[in-house]
Amino acid sequence: MPALPPSLTEIRDEFLALDLKERLQLLLEFANELPPLPDHLKDRDDLFERVIECQAPVFIDLEVEDGAVRMHATAPREAPTTRGFASILVQGLSGLSAQDVLAVPGDYPHLLGLDEAVSPLRVRGMSGMLARAKRQVAEKTAA
């Protein structure tokens, strides 16, 4: 199994060092840190893909430039859990090479110790987001 990229390892270790209640707080911090869209993607709804595995409306777009990946996401304020999931992936995947993103294990969301804190059903939403992110990167790399 390939090693996790340092960005994702760091996020995982941050979560696992905390108790269940603190993990929720950290997820909330991630939710609050979800970066706004860059100017060139504002009002470009057509570029974004809806993550239907999430209960809240969340949309993602992955850019690949010179082999480096940048992920963007929007999710409503009233859906902080989903925002938190998106923010983890935006922070963890952005800056990685396309190859590294494609090698991220599909069960990464379940490695964060959130299944107990948030419930496995909800974490599945992040798995859907990751799968879609990887698929976008694969498509954009092939083209």
Region label for 5, one of left (φ > 0), alpha (ψ between -120 and 50) or beta (otherwise): beta
Instruction: Give, in degrees to the nearest 5, the angle at Cα 103 between 98 and 108.
Output: 115
Q: Which is nearer to another protein, 121 or 142 (CB)?
A: 121
> C-beta of 116: minimal distance to another protein in Å?
7
> C-beta of 28: minimal distance to another protein in Å?
5
d(CA 97, CA 134): 12
Which chain residues interact with another protein by CB under 8 A?
A: 24-25, 27-28, 31, 52-57, 77-82, 84, 116-119, 121-122, 124-125, 128
Q: Which is nearer to another protein, 28 or 102 (CB)?
A: 28
Q: Which is nearer to another protein, 27 or 96 (CB)?
A: 27
Which pair of tokens denotes residue 117?
């804190």
